[in-house]
Amino acid sequence: MKVIVMGCGRIGSQVSQLLSEQGHEVTIIDHDANSEGRLGANFKGNIIKGLGFDHNILMQAGIEQVEAFVAASQSDNANIVAARIAHNIFHVPRVVARLYDPRRAEIYQRLGLTTISSTNWGAERIFQVLTHADIDVWNTFGSGEVALVHVELPPQLTGRNVLQLNVPGEIMVVTITRNDHAFIPASGTEFHEGDLVHLVVLSSAMNRLEELLGMEGR
């Protein structure tokens, strides 16, 4: 996946390192010429000096070819401007904006922007949004260690039972929505085609959930 990260502070540098370590192609935009010093020696991405909402800088970073854009500078206003440009003008499929003021989050979510407002777990959460796009994270608990997610049942799990998705201490099916009716399943409840499955998952078990759902490598 090709990703642009605007801002190489605490959050931006961590996200960039996580993505780079997983083999993604990362380009960082930062106005600070010394931002490279915040990255580890193993970082394999590119760094461009400039502003992440400057059209020429975005073109230089290859925004027309990227699959994701992260606005993680220290300015809420700059992040939102850059995120809206990426989302509305360049139609980048996945756009995430870092916000310091959580009161703004609902406004920008209505505009179709995913926002992150907690410094403690922001980098890990952004990483999850970008790399587990088929799993919809509804909420998180604590400092992001546990997530409430929902997924549309993959066709290959039709007829299987809930017990095959439950992993003690890591993954648990908590509700199923079927024909617009939600219910709490038993361990032997069979999945039906079209089910919407709601689960609680350890953040560290997201990859395992994707494997159980047959989503790995997608």
pLDDT digits (tens, 9 = 90+) for 120-174: 455 656 665 665 556 767 777 765 678 888 888 888 899 999 998 999 999 999 9
- pLDDT tens track for 179-216: 989 999 998 999 999 999 999 998 888 888 888 888 65
pLDDT at 85 over 90: yes
Q: What is the mean pLDDT of residues 55-78?
A: 93
Is the full-model pTM beyond 0.85?
no
Sorted by sequence, the CB contacts under 8 Å of residue 124 that are 6+ apart come out as 18, 144, 203
CA distance 72 to 65: 20
Burial class (CB in 10 A: 0-12, 13-18, 19+), 184: exposed
Comparing 114 with 163, the larger pLDDT belongs to 163
Q: Residue 91: its pLDDT value, please?
A: 94
Distance of CA 21 to the CA centre of its chain: 16
